[in-house]
Amino acid sequence: MPYHSIVLVKQVPDTRSVSGDVITPDGTMNRSALPAIFNPEDLNALEMALQVKDQHGGTVTVLTMGPLQAAEVLRQALYRGADRVVLLSDRKFAGADTQATSYTLKCAVEKLGAFDLVFCGRQAIDGDTAQVGPQTAEKLGLPQITYAEAILSLEQDEIVVRRAFDLGIELVKCKLPCLLTVVGSANQPRPPSARKRIAYKLACVPAEYPRLLQQWPDLGDEASLDALLVQQGLKIPVWNAADLPVNEAELGLSGSPTQVYKVNYVVLEGTESKDISPTPEGIRALIEELVEEYIVG
Amino acid sequence: MSEARNVWVFIEQGDGQVADVSLELLSKACELAQHLGSQVWALLCGYQVEGLVETVIQHGADHVLLADHPELEVYRTLPYCRVAVGLVKQHQPYIFLIGASPVGRDLAPRIASAVRVGLTADCTDLQIGDFLYKKENTLYKDLLYQIRPAFGGNIIATIVNPKTRPQMASVREGVMRRRTPDPSRQGTVEAVRPGFQPQDFALQVLSHEMRPPTVRLKDAPVIVAGGAGVDGPGEFELIQDLANLLGGEVGASRAAVDAGLVSREHQVGQTGLTVRPRLYIAAGISGAVQHRAGMDKSNKIIAINTDPTAPIFQVAHYKIVGDLAEVLPLLIKTLREKAK
């Protein structure tokens, strides 16, 4: 029996590639030096949803909330086999903590219509909170399976999932619909397909029309491009607050119970430190000192 | 809003024992409650767990809410959430603390969403302080400062929940210090009856296997840790060799774990473990704040890095500017000679 899946994904700055030049001389972070990427565990979530589609049929819809540039992760999802993508973008969504984010996602999921499974990555690498998945599940009134590593069976309205933690595993059986948060060890996400890359190379949001027209001038003007993309199903829909049945007070910064009181740049306390030369003499002296102080030995 | 301003701790338990992280949080809760002039309440859920009440009181609880029920024997999100949300709504605690363990990270966001309150994950410090909410020009007194490294790790953010109660925060194991239990401490116990709904049982646990940790980083007297500067498994063996020689454990930064050099159990830092060994040797670790948050309270720190400007050197007691592929073998060789 076919299953309809929704995958919630996020575009994140690649905090794993933080290197020397990302840090400015005054110790702050140069965000623009970090590439924006598909949150790694969200790719695992997408892969799990695509495998469900491969095995059982059905559809995969990918949803993201973010600035217009986040259309890039939606294209990446289309290249891998998503059937439908939607971008949630509005200034009113900005500054959201996990509570306001999960509220917005919940409203969008409800607008998408009937579904059997919701997938998201366990956590995003820019915040590591792992809160949006469970909070979206709660707001949708769905059971949640966090730390999902594998779907062991999927029959009728029942799923059996292996959950994986650092120190163990758990097998659970759950009624559908439900929400899974997927861990990185779940699978090896498939690469974008070359065929789909070509098929979806024009997929974009209206904000990207100027860029497309610059690249392919023979596409005409924005109006003709829009008509073409709509006709070919390549126009990525952008939903704003007005498109959703939302209570605006629960969106974005104003809908966020947590507030950042202050941000301190890390001032490292100068620990009194000794320079040790990386030579046999230097190392011997160091070890003698440590032995004397009963640190080693 | 309740006037009591009580500090609650969710007590995680398994195999007849209270989780370390819950005991550590009880210690912290005592500090916060003392500051607020309020009480520490513990929420203990499980089946046949009355025996743990004493431990919980000795570690700092003034009052224990005991939900003892067969349906709570194995942790499941929805039944646990039903109990916690009901009690939170009934008593309106001021602060709610929970361990950032797999259970806590599954449960806490669910509770926060159901009660519509803010939650800050993986705090590295908790304090009480005032907050001037500029948007409203209102001064909120005695809020919980939820302190954690943020984006990329160059900044430490202090988060507050000015309006919603409880103020929820999760904390990883090892971050807070656990006080010695006081056997003479007195507390009260209140049995609570869960009011489950049929939909709370949508999920069934078929099997559950947890293995004991193979790495005891938290108690290790010496930790030798490797990071992004470790070039492949061959060099990582040097870390292991030195750790063995010193009777210590192997630690790692997130970069080394993500690179697959070592399992996540070895990760030191905000999203890993917080450690305070007698000696911490950081090899090829640049020292992002998330990593330092987990090790900067070590008694002595030796840092080895080729980059003399690496931030790790600023928390190190001994700086060795050099290639770990040369320095580690020197350390190993010198220690071996010493042992003879």
Number of domains in chain A: 1
At A93 the pLDDT is 95
**Is B326–A256 a contact, with Cβ atoms under 8 angstroms apart?**
no
pLDDT digits (tens, 9 = 90+) for A241-297: 999 999 999 999 989 999 888 888 766 566 678 899 999 999 999 999 998 888 887
Position B272 confidence tier, pLDDT thresholds 50, 70, 90: confident
Q: Does B153 touch chain A (CB under 8 A)?
A: yes
Please tell me which residue, A126 or A75, carries the higher pLDDT value: A75
Rounded to the nearest 5°, which phi and psi values hold at A196?
-70, -30
Cβ atoms B178, A53 nearer than 8 A: no
Sign of the dihedral through C-alpha A154, A159, A164, A168:
negative
pLDDT digits (tens, 9 = 90+) for B37-55: 999 999 999 999 999 999 9
Position B1 confidence tier, pLDDT thresholds 50, 70, 90: very low
In a domain, A95, yes or no: yes
What mean pLDDT is predicted for residues B155-167?
Answer: 92
B106, B161, B318 member nearest A274 (Cβ): B318
A15, A102, A258 member nearest B118 (Cβ): A258
**Is A139–B113 a contact, with Cβ atoms under 8 angstroms apart?**
yes
The ipTM estimated for the assembled molecules is 0.90
Please tell me which residue, A135 or B133, carries the higher pLDDT value: A135
**Is B331–A283 a contact, with Cβ atoms under 8 angstroms apart?**
yes
In a domain, A227, yes or no: no
Give contacts of A271 with chain B, Cβ < 8 Å.
301, 314-317
Closest CA of chain B from A169, distance in Å: 5
pLDDT digits (tens, 9 = 90+) for A139-155: 999 999 999 999 999 99
What mean pLDDT is predicted for residues A210-216?
Answer: 92
Which residues, other chains included, contact B78 with Cβ-Cβ below 8 Å and sequence gap of 6+?
A143, B199, B200, B201, B202, B203
Structural domains in chain B plus CATH codes = 7-201 (3.40.50.620), 217-339 (3.40.50.1220)
pLDDT digits (tens, 9 = 90+) for B206-234: 999 988 777 888 889 999 999 999 999 99
In a domain, A118, yes or no: yes
**Is B330–A287 a contact, with Cβ atoms under 8 angstroms apart?**
no
Cβ atoms B226, B312 nearer than 8 A: no
At B134 the pLDDT is 86
Q: Does B302 touch chain A (CB under 8 A)?
A: yes
Which residues, other chains included, contact B176 with Cβ-Cβ below 8 Å and sequence gap of 6+?
B24, B25, B27, B28, B126
In a domain, A289, yes or no: no
Assess whether the previous peptide bond of B183 is cis (omega < 30° from 0).
no
What mean pLDDT is predicted for residues A186-193?
Answer: 97
Position B164 confidence tier, pLDDT thresholds 50, 70, 90: very high
Closest CA of chain B from A189, distance in Å: 16
**Is A261–B158 a contact, with Cβ atoms under 8 angstroms apart?**
yes
In a domain, A264, yes or no: no
Sign of the dihedral through C-alpha B271, B274, B277, B282:
positive
**Is A175–B159 a contact, with Cβ atoms under 8 angstroms apart?**
no
Rounded to the nearest 5°, which phi and psi values hold at A292?
-60, -35
Residue A16 has pLDDT above 70, yes or no: no
The 3-class SS string of A128-153 reads CCCCHHHHHHHHHCCCEEEEEEEEEE
With b meaning 16 or more CB within 10 Å and e meaning fewer, what string describes B246-264? Answer: bebbbbbbbbbbbbebbeb
Residue A27 has pLDDT above 80, yes or no: no
Position A225 confidence tier, pLDDT thresholds 50, 70, 90: very high
B163, B263, B315 member nearest A271 (Cβ): B315
Closest CA of chain B from A54, distance in Å: 25
In a domain, A279, yes or no: no
Rounded to the nearest 5°, which phi and psi values hold at A230?
-60, -45
Average pLDDT, chain A: 91
What mean pLDDT is predicted for residues B2-15?
Answer: 90
Closest CA of chain A from B184, distance in Å: 35
Which residues, other chains included, contact B327 with Cβ-Cβ below 8 Å and sequence gap of 6+?
A278, A283, B283, B304, B320
Cβ atoms B332, B241 nearer than 8 A: yes
Sign of the dihedral through C-alpha B115, B121, B125, B130:
negative
What mean pLDDT is predicted for residues B25-34?
Answer: 98
Give contacts of B285 with chain A, Cβ < 8 Å.
none
Structure tokens at B131: 């907050």
Find the CATH number of the domain harbouring A179: 3.40.50.620
In a domain, A275, yes or no: no
pLDDT digits (tens, 9 = 90+) for A115-139: 999 999 999 988 889 999 999 999 9
Closest CA of chain A from B52, distance in Å: 23
At B271 the pLDDT is 81
At B70 the pLDDT is 97
Cα-trace Rg, chain A? 24
Cβ atoms A278, B330 nearer than 8 A: yes
pLDDT digits (tens, 9 = 90+) for A40-56: 999 999 999 999 999 99
At A18 the pLDDT is 57
Give DSSP secondary structure letters for B254-299. Answer: HHHHHTTSS-GGGBBSTTSB----SEEEEES----HHHHTTTTT-S
Task: Give the percent of chain B with pLDDT over 70.
Answer: 98
In a domain, A218, yes or no: no
**Is B161–A258 a contact, with Cβ atoms under 8 angstroms apart?**
yes
**Is B118–A257 a contact, with Cβ atoms under 8 angstroms apart?**
yes
Query: Hunting for tokens 């039944």 — which residue is that?
Result: B79
Q: Does B102 touch chain A (CB under 8 A)?
A: yes
Q: Lowest-confidence range among A270-279, B65-74, B108-117?
A: A270-279
Which chain A residue has the Cα nearest residue B266?
Answer: A166
At A128 the pLDDT is 85
Which chain A residue has the Cα nearest residue B243?
Answer: A296
**Is B121–A271 a contact, with Cβ atoms under 8 angstroms apart?**
no
The rounded distance, in Å, linking the Cα atoms of B223 and A187 is 32
Average pLDDT, chain B: 93
Domain boundaries, position A150: 3-201+236-255
Residue B4 has pLDDT above 90, yes or no: no
What mean pLDDT is predicted for residues B226-251?
Answer: 93
The 3-class SS string of chain A reads CCEEEEEEECEEECHHHCCHHHECCCCCECHHHCCEEECHHHHHHHHHHHHHHHHHCEEEEEEEECCHHHHHHHHHHHHHCCCEEEEECCHHHCCCCHHHHHHHHHHHHHHHCCCCEEEEECCCCCCCCCCHHHHHHHHHCCCEEEEEEEEEEEECCEEEEEEEECCEEEEEEEECCEEEEECHHHCCCCCCCHHHHHHCCCCECHHHHHHHHHHCHHHCCHHHHHHHHHHHCCECCEECHHHCCCCHHHCCHHHCCCEEEEEEECCCCCCCCEEECCCHHHHHHHHHHHHHCCCCC
At A26 the pLDDT is 47
DSSP state for residue B202 in the 8-state scheme: S
